[in-house]
Structure 1
Amino acid sequence: MKTVIIHGQSHKGSTYNIAHMLGEKIGGELAEFFLPRDFGEFCTGCTRCFLEHESKCPHYQKLSPITKAIDDADVVILASSVYVFHATGAMKAFLDHYGYRWMVHSPDGRMFTKQGVCISTAAGAGMGKTNKDMGDSLFFWGIGKIYKYGVGVMATDWESVSDKKRAAIDRKTTVMANAIKSRAGHVTPSLKTKAVFFGMHLLQRKGINERDKKHWQEQGWTGSKRPWKN
């Protein structure tokens, strides 16, 4: 299996350690990227990815190594510390660049058989909203199975996390890793994902714009073909 972790911060605190722990327990190949160190550009709102092609994005080349890692991975982990009850600005800026991949536009068919994980930590609260920030993108990319894990570590650094809390994290990541490995190779999207895809299928039969319409037609999705095994 191949796993990629996108860290929403460049330091190695609690969020990093939990995500990395999960990645190691999943096993196989592991690639990691740190934001904004490995990508820190803001979307300019030029809409060229929607109307022309993603390669027309002014940040396409800088983003391409991470995009390739996501496309090659079986498991995509998005990890972010809680910043004012939401994901980090670096994570949000990163995800903004993949709006063209949402199901309403030009989704990548490989996403529908992948597994995704959202991991967030805070000293206190805000994990639910932070995981939703990241989970929205995973869902609308079409990721077949999504897990969410938020932890209130009651500490500002990993070294200060209590032994009891660490033991609970170890148990949770083990259970999650085992679930991910058990589903490897036979992931199918949820009924909700399939329903949203079907709605977009009806929409794209007429088309929102020529770029999206052409993409759906080329994949055969405006007909009976689907990006997962029926």
Structure 2
Amino acid sequence: MKTVIIHGQSHKGSTYHTARLLADKLGGEVTEFFLPRDFGEFCTGCTRCFEVGEEKCPHFAKLSPITEAIDAADVIILASPVYVFHATGAMKAFLDHYGWRWMVHSPEESMFTKQGVCISTAAGMGTGSANKDMADSLFFWGVARIYKLGFGVAASDWQGISDKKRKTIEKAAERTAQKIKSRHGRVKPTLKTRAVFFAMHLMQRKGFNPRDVKHWQEKGWTGNVRPWKS
């Protein structure tokens, strides 16, 4: 099993350790990226990725190693501490660069057989909204199964977390790891994902963006082909 972790910060605090805990329980090969250290560019809104192709993005070369790792992974972990009730600005700036991959545009076929996990920690509240920031992208990329782990740790760093809270985190990570491993190699999209895909299928049969229409037609998705096994 291959896992990629996108850390929404460059320091190794509570969120980092929680993500690593899950990855270690999953086993296999783990690739990590830290934002903004490994990618810190802001989307310029040029729309070239939508209209022509993602390779026309001014940040394409810098983003490519992360994209390649995501595409090669079985499990995608997006991990972000809570900043003012949301994911970090670095995580948001990163995810902005993949708007072209949303189901309404030109989704990547392999996403429909992957699993994803959103992880957030906070001293207090806000993990729900931070995880939603990240889960929205995973869902609209087409990721088949998405899990969310959010913890109010009542501490400012990993060392300050109580033993009781650490045990809670470890148990949740273990449960999630078991679910992921049980579905590995045979994961299928949820009914909600299939319904959204079908709606996009109907839209792309007429289409409004030539680049997206071409993508869907080449995949056979405007017909009876689907990016997952029936």
TM-score normalised by the shorter chain: which range applies?
Answer: over 0.9
Residue 20 (structure 1) aligned with residue 20 (structure 2): yes
Say if 2:14 is the partner of 1:31. no
Alignment match, 1:93: 93
Which residue does 1:8 correspond to in 2?
Answer: 8
Question: Please, which runs of 5 or more residues in structure 1 have no aligned partner?
Answer: none
Query: Structure 2: where are the runs of 5+ without partners?
Result: none
Distance in 1, Cα, partners of 2:227 & 2:178:
25
Partner letter of residue 214 of structure 1?
K
Query: Which residue of structure 2 lines up, in the alignment, with residue 198 of structure 1?
Result: 198
Secondary structure in 2 aligned to 1:206?
coil
Q: Could you tell me how far apart the structure 2 residues matched to 1:219 and 1:179 are?
A: 30
Q: Which residue of 2 aligns with 1:130?
A: 130
- Give 2:139's aligned residue: 139
CA-atom RMSD in angstroms: 0.4
Counterpart mapping for 1:85-124 below 5 A:
85-124=85-124
C-alpha distance in 1, partners of 2:145/2:169? 21
The alignment status of 1:62 with 2:67, answered yes or no, reads: no
Runs of 4+ in 1 over 6 A off after TM superposition: none
Offset of residue 207 of structure 1 = 1.2
Q: For 1:175-221, what per-residue CA distance to the aligned partner results, in whole angstroms no more than 9, with x for missing partners?
A: 11111111000010000000000000000001121100000000000
Q: 1:43-81: per-residue Cα shift (whole Å, max 9, x none)?
A: 000000000000000000000000000000000000000
Q: Could you tell me which residue of structure 2 aligns to residue 185 of structure 1?
A: 185
What is the match of residue 222 of structure 2? 222
Residue identity (%): 73
Distance 1:194 1:208 in 2: 21
What amino acid does structure 2 have at the position aligned with 1:69? A
Q: Aligned partners of 1:44 and 1:151: how far apart in 2?
A: 33
TM-score of the two chains, using structure 1 as the length reference = 1.00
Distance 1:178 1:202 in 2: 36
The count of aligned residue pairs is 230
Find the aligned partners of 1:127 and 1:164 in 2 and give their Cα distance: 19
TM-score (norm 2): 1.00
| Alpha-carbon distance in structure 1 between the residues aligned to 2:14 and 2:208 | 42
SS at match of 2:205: helix
**Hey, what does 1:82 align to over in structure 2?**
82
